[in-house]
């Protein structure tokens, strides 16, 4: 038994040790996390004017951004994308994971591997791949796409773009989540399922009343992470519109609009204001999902 004095001495020794270990991280946290966030906040209240020096205003940039005629279009595009993509992703992930769990065959394992591979193809290479996939002339599903193509033989337009991005996002994102959800299903104790079956539960009953309730926290988790990703949509529309100029608007997504403020107009105030509005919506939705699904209380399980 160490004496009280020794314990106290040790506790005192630990303080500098902990700080020393965290100090390098604190430097990068402040330099590349907190400082830009605070600076962005400050910028949002600094109004750029063609006739005078920048001046301070609490609301000017936010009002200017909200009045921009391009914002409703871009917001609607992102909303459409999220409304198609999120349900599609959840259905694909849960149906496949549950089917793989129902009987753990070799074929199921192979499928799990194949669904995981497109996750390695991200960023601009993924955008290029799907640009090809959506060109009726070269796509493996070209004849199908031609049914929806316009007169010039192109499938891509502001209207079909949300659909293409959703399919692309599902192909790239589902595999990783399938592994996570499948892992959770495997983790359910076998006795729980067996006792339910003994009580006369059918296979569907175990899915609906045991498996899904036990893993429902993953639905919220996937939704929150995917929402944040979806609102940030930038790389895919930028690369695709570079490959197909004129077919898709350069300010198709909200983040592209932020970028356009900063580069085309050199108006960092408006860019920051819009980025902050985007962040607020994102956080509000995350809070809503967390409180409505009791995500964290289940997470402690």
Partner 1 sequence: MRTDKIVGPAARNLLFVLAILFFGLPIVWLLLAPTKTTNGLQYMPPMAFGSFQQLGISASNLFGYDNGIIWTWALNSVWYTALSLAVSLSVAVPAGYALAKLPFKGSNVVLFVTLLTMIVPSAALILPLYLEMSAFNLTNTPWSVILPLTFHPFGVYLIYLYAKASVPDSIIEAARLDGCSEFGIMMRIFVPLAWPAIAMVAFFGFVGAWNAFFLPFIMLNDQSLATLQTGLQILVSSTGAISGGNPSSVPIHAPEVALAAIVSILPILMVFLFAQRYLVAGQTAGAEKG
Site residues (CB under 8 A) for partner 1, limited to 243-272: 243-245, 255, 258-259, 262, 268, 271-272
Q: Which of 145, 179, 223, 257 binds partner 1 (CB under 8 A)?
A: 179
Q: Which stretch binds partner 1 (CB under 8 A): 54-62, 65-73, 74-82, 198-206?
A: 198-206
The span from the CA of 144 to the CA of 157, in Å, is 16
Q: Which stretch binds partner 1 (CB under 8 A): 48-56, 57-65, 73-81, 172-180?
A: 172-180
Residue 166 binds partner 1, judged by CB under 8 A: no
The span from the CA of 205 to the CA of 218, in Å, is 20
Site residues (CB under 8 A) for partner 1, limited to 55-84: none
The span from the CA of 23 to the CA of 29, in Å, is 10
Q: Which stretch binds partner 1 (CB under 8 A): 30-38, 46-54, 56-64, 78-86?
A: 30-38
Instruction: Check if the beta carbon of residue 282 is closer than 8 Å to that of residue 223.
Output: no
Q: Which of 283, 284, 291, 296 binds partner 1 (CB under 8 A)?
A: 283
Residue 36 or 72: the one with the smaller Cβ distance to partner 1 is 36
Tell me the HSE value of 161 on the side-chain side, using a 13 A CA sphere: 26
Considering the complex, what minimum distance in angstroms separates the CB of residue 161 from partner 1?
A: 15
Q: Which of 3, 4, 5, 21 binds partner 1 (CB under 8 A)?
A: 21
Residue 184 binds partner 1, judged by CB under 8 A: yes
Give the other-Cβ count within 10 Å of 103's Cβ: 8
Helix (H) or strand (E) holding 47: strand 46-47
What is the per-residue binding string for partner 1 in 116-155, x denoting contact by CB under 8 A? Answer: xxx-xxxxxx--xxxxxx-x-xxxx-x-------------
Q: DSSP 3-state assignment of 121?
A: coil
Residue 183 binds partner 1, judged by CB under 8 A: yes
- Dihedral angle over CA of 141, 231, 85, 227, nearest 10: 140
Site residues (CB under 8 A) for partner 1, limited to 93-122: 95-96, 98-99, 102-103, 107-108, 110-111, 114-118, 120-122
Helix spans in the chain (H)? 4-29, 35-44, 60-67, 70-102, 106-116, 123-133, 142-146, 161-186, 190-198, 203-205, 212-214, 216-231, 235-243, 254-263, 268-293, 295-299
Residue 34 binds partner 1, judged by CB under 8 A: yes
Residue 149 or 276: the one with the smaller Cβ distance to partner 1 is 276
């Amino acid at each position: 038994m160490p004496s009280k004095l020794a314990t106290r001495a040790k506790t005192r020794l630990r303080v500098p040790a902990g700080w020393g270990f965290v100090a390098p991280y604190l430097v990068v946290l402040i330099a590349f996390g907190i400082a830009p966030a605070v600076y962005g906040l400050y910028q949002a209240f600094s109004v750029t004017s063609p006739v005078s020096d920048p001046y301070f205003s609490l609301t000017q940039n936010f009002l200017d951004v909200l009045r921009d005629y391009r914002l409703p279009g871009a917001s609607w595009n992102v909303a459409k994308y999220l409304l198609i993509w999120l349900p599609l992703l959840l259905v694909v992930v849960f149906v496949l994971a549950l089917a793989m769990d129902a009987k753990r065959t070799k074929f199921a394992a192979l499928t799990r591997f194949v669904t995981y591979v497109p996750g390695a193809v991200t960023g601009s290479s993924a955008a290029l791949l799907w640009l090809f996939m959506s060109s009726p002339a070269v796509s493996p599903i070209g004849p199908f796409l031609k049914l929806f193509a316009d007169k010039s033989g192109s499938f891509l337009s502001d209207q079909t773009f949300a659909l293409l991005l959703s399919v692309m996002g599902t192909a790239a994102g589902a595999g990783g989540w399938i592994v996570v959800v499948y892992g959770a299903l495997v983790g359910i104790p076998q006795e729980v399922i067996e006792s339910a079956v003994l009580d006369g539960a059918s296979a569907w009953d175990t899915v609906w009343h045991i498996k899904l309730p036990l893993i429902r926290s993953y639905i919220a988790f996937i939704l929150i992470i995917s929402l944040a990703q979806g609102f940030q949509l930038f790389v895919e529309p930028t690369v695709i519109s570079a490959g197909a100029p004129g077919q898709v608007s350069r300010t198709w997504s909200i983040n592209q609009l932020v970028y356009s403020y900063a580069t085309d107009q050199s108006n960092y105030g408006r860019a920051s204001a819009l980025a902050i509005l985007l962040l607020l919506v994102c956080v509000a939705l995350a809070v809503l999902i967390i409180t409505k699904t009791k995500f964290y209380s289940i997470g402690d399980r």
